[in-house]
């Protein structure tokens, strides 16, 4: 029994020894592996350090920390589109640079937009701290299994860091810094803030940055008005704005829309019914409101807005110009788009037979015009040239071009000043030719005439003699008081009585001068900016209307009475507005190089110039023809329905 009991025991003992031996051997190899791995890791770290990578990473971390130290919400609200409104509060233009951001706060962004981006761009957005290694693994797996990446390896926070603070250059250093900045962003801002910044700054192709600009650009609607399908469609674009551009690759955009909707359904962000309806919905782009008709008024508005910002902030032109196009300002103006269109159409129709082109393709014969509201002194319409398909330069002749004014200057520097110094409408003047003096346009002379007659018939002789009596210094001082900007020292001579100025005057200046006569001699600096606010509605600019008396009230009123006769008996006879008292003056330079008409009612003052950009004469361009015809057509239209009002 004893032997039989000993036999199993003897058999078991060698087995235990073998197990222990294997265990010891396995432990040895495991330890050896750990030692080897540790050596490799230490070696890698040594090489990493020796090659300078450690120092680079530390430097990148410090740089990211410095970036976040100086970070403010303004970093994510830069390059915002401004908006321009007409006098009725209608949006007429976007102020935009290379980027077109219409910024929305988090509570203005629909939840469907947030859910769509999280579902397709960053599944674990609300769980990670800026960097998500699982996302990289998912992207790699997708690339291997499907040969495409349906979800990127970069988190939403990383993408934001890259878009705002970094470039898109593919280098390991940029990727490391991107991760550091993303993690720092998560420490400084909330998830809702990061999502807000991201959605407002990503690119939606075709010049649209941010979901609101994209919604307005592709559907002519605010994002709050879009359907679930349309929302997902837009959210498909930023992943690859070229590949998913809906204007050129609609099929690609639709496929990614469907993927987004599928992800949202899986995440229970939408119901099955919502998913089915959204996938089946047809996408119809509507770009009718993506652009605003650019007029000559826009050029004037932009310039005046920059100047207004300069006055308000004390900053230089370039700085204020940049702010205007990137600061998200709201610019409110006195421009009346109906009057703007009417004035443009009047010019185009009257000059339609003149089709000769300059070497640059623009019409050789040009025009400019300004309409001022006499109640406010503000510009309602300003045209800087003829309409021409495909051509609208930034050169607005109405305030940028200076031309010889001819006889239209006479009431401003000769006759009204004379009325202030004892002359009257019935005063006698001598219409005779002097040896060294100017000739009348008709080359006829009437001898003794009244001042009223001299103005109505635009006599050169009488104006010349009166300015000699007044002196050019006195006459031109009135233009200086009305901000005429191009008066030169050489202009202080008697030829200025006939509009012979070195540089000349602009249509805006002439119109504002006549508006002063309509306003009982009180000059108001012409402008079109009524207010500028920031995107939150805070007032940035509230212009202080500059006005001061230039002419005595009595003299201005008598001059108006005289100028009424120009449209009844004088050089513009028969061109008055039926049933509406009006006054005005023609102007023609030598050889009809520049022709003018400036006139007013109690309601509006309008000045018109016609001529060639490269001065040359044209007998048919008399001041009593095209300028006054344009004036009559336009002023008749804008006075329709207004009660007759004495000047």
Active centre residues (catalytic): 121, 407
Q: Which of 149, 145, 155 is nearest to 195 (CA)?
A: 155
CA distance linking residue 376 with residue 336, whole number of Å: 13
List of residues 6+ apart from 315 with CB closer than 8 A: 309, 323
Q: Which of 625, 62, 530, 566 is nearest to 304 (CA)?
A: 530
Give whole-number Cα distances, 172 to 8, 56, 169, 184, in Å.
66, 11, 9, 18
CA distance linking residue 238 with residue 117, whole number of Å: 10
- Please provide the DSSP assignment of 297-343 as one string: HHHHHHHHHHHHHHHHH---HHHHHHHHHHB--EEEE---HHHHHHH
CA distance linking residue 124 with residue 118, whole number of Å: 8
- The torsion angles phi and psi of 105, rounded to 5 degrees, stand at -80, 165
Structure tokens given for 40 = 């490799």
CA distance linking residue 167 with residue 174, whole number of Å: 8
Structure tokens given for 26 = 């396995």
Q: What is the C-alpha radius of gyration for the chain, rounded to an integer number of angstroms?
A: 38
Strand-pair partners of 430? 448
Q: Which of 423, 382, 308, 411 is nearest to 607 (CA)?
A: 382
Q: Which of 576, 623, 622, 616 is nearest to 596 (CA)?
A: 623
CA distance linking residue 353 with residue 134, whole number of Å: 71
Q: Which of 275, 335, 352, 265 is nearest to 528 (CA)?
A: 335
């Amino acid at each position: 029994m004893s032997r039989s009991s000993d036999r199993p025991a003897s058999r078991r003992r060698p087995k235990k020894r073998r197990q222990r031996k294997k265990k010891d051997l396995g432990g040895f190899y495991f330890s050896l592996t750990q030692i080897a791995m540790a050596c490799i890791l230490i070696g890698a770290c040594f090489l990493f350090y020796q090659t300078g990578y450690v120092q680079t990473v530390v430097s990148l971390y410090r740089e990211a920390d410095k970036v976040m130290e100086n970070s403010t919400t303004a970093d994510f609200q830069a390059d915002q589109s401004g908006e321009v409104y007409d006098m009725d509060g209608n949006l007429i233009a976007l102020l935009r640079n290379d980027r077109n951001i219409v910024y929305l706060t988090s509570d203005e962004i629909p939840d469907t937009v947030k859910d769509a981006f999280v579902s397709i761009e960053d599944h674990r957005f609300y769980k990670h701290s800026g960097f998500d290694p699982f996302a990289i693994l998912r992207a790699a797996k997708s690339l291997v299994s499907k040969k495409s990446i349906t979800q990127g390896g970069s988190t939403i926070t990383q993408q934001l860091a890259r878009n705002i603070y970094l470039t898109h250059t593919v280098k390991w250093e940029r990727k490391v810094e991107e991760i550091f900045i993303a993690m720092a962003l998560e420490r400084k801002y909330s998830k809702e803030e990061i999502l807000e910044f991201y959605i407002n700054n990503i690119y939606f192709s075709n010049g649209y940055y941010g979901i609101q600009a994209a919604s307005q650009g592709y559907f002519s609607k605010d994002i709050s008005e879009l359907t679930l399908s349309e929302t997902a469609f837009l959210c498909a674009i930023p992943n690859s704005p070229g590949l998913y551009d809906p204007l050129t690759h609609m099929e690609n955009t639709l496929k990614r829309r469907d993927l987004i909707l599928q992800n949202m359904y899986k995440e229970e962000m939408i119901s099955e019914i919502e998913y089915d309806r959204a996938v089946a919905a047809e996408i119809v782009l509507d770009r009718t409101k993506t652009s605003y008709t650019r007029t000559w008024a826009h050029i004037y508005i932009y310039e005046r807005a920059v100047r207004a910002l300069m006055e308000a902030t004390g900053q230089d032109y370039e700085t204020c110009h940049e702010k205007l196009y990137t600061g998200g300002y709201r610019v409110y103006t006195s421009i009346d788009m109906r009057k703007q269109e009417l004035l443009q159409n009047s010019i185009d129709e009257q000059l339609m037979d003149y089709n000769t082109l300059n070497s640059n393709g623009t019409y050789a014969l040009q025009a400019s015009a300004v309409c001022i509201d006499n109640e406010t002194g503000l510009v309602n319409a300003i045209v800087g040239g003829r309409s021409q398909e495909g051509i609208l330069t930034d050169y607005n002749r109405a305030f940028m071009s200076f031309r010889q004014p001819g006889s239209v200057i006479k009431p401003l520097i000769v006759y009204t000043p004379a009325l202030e110094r004892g002359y009257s409408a019935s005063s006698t003047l001598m219409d005779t030719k002097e040896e060294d003096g100017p000739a009348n346009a008709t080359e006829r002379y009437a001898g003794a005439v009244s001042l009223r007659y001299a103005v109505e018939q635009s006599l050169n002789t009488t104006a010349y003699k009166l300015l000699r009596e007044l002196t050019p210094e006195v006459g031109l001082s009135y233009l200086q008081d009305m901000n005429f900007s191009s008066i030169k020292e050489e202009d202080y001579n008697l030829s200025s009585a006939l509009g012979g100025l070195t540089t000349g005057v602009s249509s805006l200046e002439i119109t504002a001068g006549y508006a002063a006569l309509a306003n009982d001699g009180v000059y108001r600096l012409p402008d079109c900016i009524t207010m500028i606010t920031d995107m939150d509605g805070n007032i940035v600019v509230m212009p202080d209307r500059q006005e001061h008396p230039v002419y005595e009230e009595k003299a201005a009123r008598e001059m108006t009475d005289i100028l009424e006769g120009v449209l009844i008996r004088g050089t513009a006879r028969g061109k008055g507005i039926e049933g509406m008292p009006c006054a005005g003056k023609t102007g023609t330079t030598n050889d009809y190089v520049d022709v003018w008409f400036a006139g007013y009612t109690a309601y509006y003052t309008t000045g018109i110039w016609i001529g060639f950009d490269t001065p040359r004469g044209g007998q048919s361009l008399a001041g009593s023809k095209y300028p006054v015809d344009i004036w009559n057509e336009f002023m008749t239209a804008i006075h329709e329905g207004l009660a007759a009002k004495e000047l």
